[in-house]
Structure 1
């Protein structure tokens, strides 16, 4: 599966080579791949920079389409905290509502392995149209669910929506590699900001619909109609430019065998699993925490909006420091601060504290989200294995997201004992930060540099 996420991570390859050039002075920023992948010498396009539009009406239209997809899909899943609050307080008797959101997260990350391979082999429109139809269909299935029927919501929202977002996520971002080479990092940064904006806008819409005269069922249908219309526009805006490439099958186990012999990579994967196990606890439960602490619902409904808005900023600004300090030197403090903030949930008793927490946690957790892929790519010993390292790490990371928030929800219990899930989530995130620190130390020793 060496090439599963190759299109998505082409920009990371450029940065990887750039770093080598700055440190050693003997490595070109762009290296031809024809000698390493003879069966599809133009897959990277690294030796064809002049062929990339790097802008223009078509390229920016595609970028807009990708941004809309991110807004509608990943941004919608980032608003699950609104659903979770409604399920816990109004709609469901079960305390395991977190399994719905965590299953979404697992599928979004894991299905990318397969959708990325399908994108590379020319199935872009099949994935985008099929995934979009499934996404809207499952939203409408959520609107048909009955109070207290947990299994209906788990099937429609957990499995269905998670699968749909997983199908569209990687192809939606990967198509940018057809139009941008030199400006690819900028283009992808703009595109993924759509998920942060969606995570800020969707909670406003959903809260107003669920708790207003429209109600839950019609509110879900209205949100489904909105994202359905936007996804039609997005698909019309996007068009692949490069021809499909052939991919070798059956290499995933070989990749896994090789990477498991790389101690820094293994430790980093363990760290990502732990971080994801705790990172989403505030995202899923902050609105519920605010309401249970007596904060006016009209303000509590905006806590997730503030958090996701700050996350959008956090996905951009820390990346400006990476070129000077190195990805690990920015990632480790960001994750450590996030872990400390998770434990600080215990001190949230009023609106001011909750808002400050939402801003800080959104910023630093957003930094983690944006730095994760560059951190994984920095461990690649050659550019052509970046996609495989990303794909395998994301699969394991999804498992952390799957079990983390349900465990936190069970620890919270129906009595809302906040210190237990807060302590669990904080320990997970802080332990993950320690794993990243150890990884940095090992890689620094290997490369004989502190610029990591």
Structure 2
């Protein structure tokens, strides 16, 4: 939203949207390589390399000039995406080395930490950008804080299990694993359903006549939630872990999937501030649960601990590319002037 309204005003929102879309795609798609590298024992290499690249990307972003699209795209979109992507799967995979029976709960706590940070960080950036710091110094302050926290994470995290040779893990075997294929396909469907509210709730709020301050505190700009939705997502990512042992990860995933389906119908009819707040809370709860249940669901299909990273990496790579396709499809539909579902949802 800041890029659209203030920093890259010479470009359309669909063009600017590619920055975040490419970043999210790279974060997830790097898993195809980092998952196997994690299983092969290169955890510290990946996390330290990602830390350095992430810090470099955003310090370079602070040197970018207004309305220079390629500078923001290269630093925020490409370098930032690769830096985060190198760390993503290894950070998710580490809890599975230490926990088996309570794997879903520990992975939920890990992902809830990311969601909790995303409640505070965007608000901090908003205050920095529109205060005495401005955009460039605000990005530098954020990059410095993130770099310090990531270096601390490098010290605190370490794998427990000995590495396994990457050659012994056959990704082709995953494709012939029918339960795994169905889980990946269900991930595609969940992401498709979650895509519209995450990307278009802010537009719906603004077009519905609600003020922009409320819009900011209700939704995300890309992929992951800000404020109300993200605050609810913290709770949503924690709750499933307490019930997995009793009901099973697959059954909980089914319940949350139907919850998202019901909310999609609600999304088409909400017209008031109260309605949007309720929608954001419940959508954050259900979407957060889906996000936190996917890694343990994939891990439960692994034959041993040493292929967890590869299974998660392949799934997230396919889902990341699917997200990029969805972005292209929605951008094309919007630019071509088609009303359709997207137009109806945003009204």
TM-score (norm 1): 0.65
Deviations 1:393-439 (A, max 9, x none): 22211222222234334444599x986326689xxxxxxxxxxxxxx
**Residues 34-49 of structure 1 aligned to structure 2 (within 5 Å):** none
Distance 1:409 1:389, change over 3 A: same
> How many pairs are equivalent?
335
Between the aligned partners of 2:130 and 2:329, the Cα distance in structure 1 is 28
Distance 1:246 1:267, change over 3 A: closer
**Residues 263-412 of structure 1 aligned to structure 2 (within 5 Å):** 264-303=179-218, 304-377=226-299, 382-383=303-304, 388-412=310-334
Deviations 1:340-361 (A, max 9, x none): 4235444343322221111011
Is the contact between residue 39 and residue 166 of structure 2 (CA under 8 Å) also seen in structure 1?
Answer: no
Local SS of the residue matching 2:209: coil
Distance 1:393 1:118, change over 3 A: closer
Between the aligned partners of 2:88 and 2:28, the Cα distance in structure 1 is 9
Match of 2:4 among 63, 70, 88: 88
Between the aligned partners of 1:322 and 1:182, the Cα distance in structure 2 is 9
Local SS of the residue matching 2:176: helix
Local SS of the residue matching 1:402: helix
Larger radius of gyration: 1
**Residues 143-154 of structure 1 aligned to structure 2 (within 5 Å):** 143-154=62-73
Over the aligned positions, Cα root-mean-square deviation in angstroms equals 3.1
Q: Which residue of 2 aligns with 1:127?
A: 46
Superposed displacement of residue 315, structure 1: 1.2
Distance 1:339 1:156, change over 3 A: farther
Between the aligned partners of 1:339 and 1:418, the Cα distance in structure 2 is 21
Deviations 1:277-303 (A, max 9, x none): 342332234334433433333333211
Between the aligned partners of 1:267 and 1:173, the Cα distance in structure 2 is 21
Q: Which residue of 2 aligns with 1:420?
A: 341
Q: Which residue of 2 aligns with 1:247?
A: 165
Between the aligned partners of 1:346 and 1:424, the Cα distance in structure 2 is 5
Q: Which residue of 1 aligns with 2:125?
A: 206
Distance 1:322 1:273, change over 3 A: same
1:111 aligns with 2:111: no
Between the aligned partners of 2:209 and 2:61, the Cα distance in structure 1 is 29
Is the contact between residue 346 and residue 419 of structure 1 (CA under 8 Å) also seen in structure 2?
Answer: no
Q: Which residue of 1 aligns with 2:87?
A: 168
Deviates more, 1:329-338 or 1:307-316: 329-338
Is the contact between residue 263 and residue 283 of structure 2 (CA under 8 Å) also seen in structure 1?
Answer: yes
Deviations 1:215-248 (A, max 9, x none): 3232222211221222222223334555x42414
Is the contact between residue 229 and residue 280 of structure 2 (CA under 8 Å) also seen in structure 1?
Answer: yes
Superposed displacement of residue 310, structure 1: 0.6
Distance 1:248 1:234, change over 3 A: closer
Distance 1:199 1:339, change over 3 A: farther
Please, which runs of 5 or more residues in structure 1 have no aligned partner?
1-84, 426-452
Q: Which residue of 1 aligns with 2:115?
A: 196
Superposed displacement of residue 167, structure 1: 0.9
Between the aligned partners of 1:324 and 1:152, the Cα distance in structure 2 is 50
Superposed displacement of residue 196, structure 1: 1.0
Is the contact between residue 291 and residue 297 of structure 1 (CA under 8 Å) also seen in structure 2?
Answer: yes
More helix by share: 2
Q: Which residue of 1 aligns with 2:78?
A: 159
Q: Which residue of 1 aligns with 2:223?
A: none
Distance 1:355 1:368, change over 3 A: same
